[in-house]
Amino acid sequence: MDNVLVLVRHGESEWNRKNLFTGWKDVDLTERGVEEARRGGEMLAAEGLRFDIAFTSRLKRARRTLDIMLDVLGQRDIPIIEDEALNERDYGNLVGLNKDDARRRWGDEQVHIWRRSYDVPPPGGESLKMTAERVLPYFDARILPEVLAGRNVLVSAHGNSLRALIMRLDGLTPEEITRLNLATGVPMIYRLNADGTVASKRDLAA
């Protein structure tokens, strides 16, 4: 099977576990996150997938998830491209804050807007719309051409950078994408048509 694009959110990070806004803060995986990455690799091995190239953000939680999955697959020799265009969205002044503390400070509704609206950024940070404005041009220039050339591509990234991609691939509205939750460490397998549209999708979480 070729023309395959696999998207995976990194395994649980130390700040995921502590319920902190992480953004571009470069934190590592927890033991559970390592196990999630290993399990994601086993899921892809069960599918019999072989990859030609992989892309990841510059943040270690995504890169380490990718390395673990490729170890499980026995495919560590493929080219790996790192780019900050795939980084998590920048939460600005919220980075390092506990999400419950932020709700007490600014109120449930305001924090929900910052986290889940499409185009309202947190103070000093990025909205999902702004994140999409860096992720999608990079996808079009670097990742999509690899898939359309018949290669199988693995992308390890983050909840919001992947939401931006999924919004494009699945044709979701801004309202629909803000309701999408991505499990950590679970691959989504897309097969693309020659024009870049989606021929099929399987979320291995299901």
Residue type, 6: V
Q: Which residues are catalytic, by number?
A: 10, 88
pLDDT at 153: 98
Q: Are 198 and 188 in contact (CB under 8 A)?
A: no
Task: List per-residue pLDDT tens for the chain, 206 residues long.
Answer: 789 999 999 999 999 999 999 999 999 999 999 999 999 999 999 999 999 999 999 999 999 999 999 999 999 999 999 999 999 999 999 999 999 999 999 999 999 999 888 999 999 999 999 999 999 999 999 999 999 999 999 999 999 999 999 999 999 999 898 889 899 999 999 999 999 999 999 998 87
What would you report as the CA-atom Rg of the chain, rounded to the nearest whole angstrom? 16
pLDDT at 74: 97
pLDDT at 36: 97
- The structural domains of the chain, with segments of one domain joined by +, span 4-203
pLDDT at 186: 96
Report CA-CA distances (Å) from 107 to 24, 30, 99, 169, 175: 24, 29, 11, 34, 21
Residue that is written with structure tokens 């590592």 in the block = 28
Phi then psi for residue 44, to 5 deg, are: -70, -35
Q: Does domain 4-203 have CATH number 3.40.50.1240?
A: yes
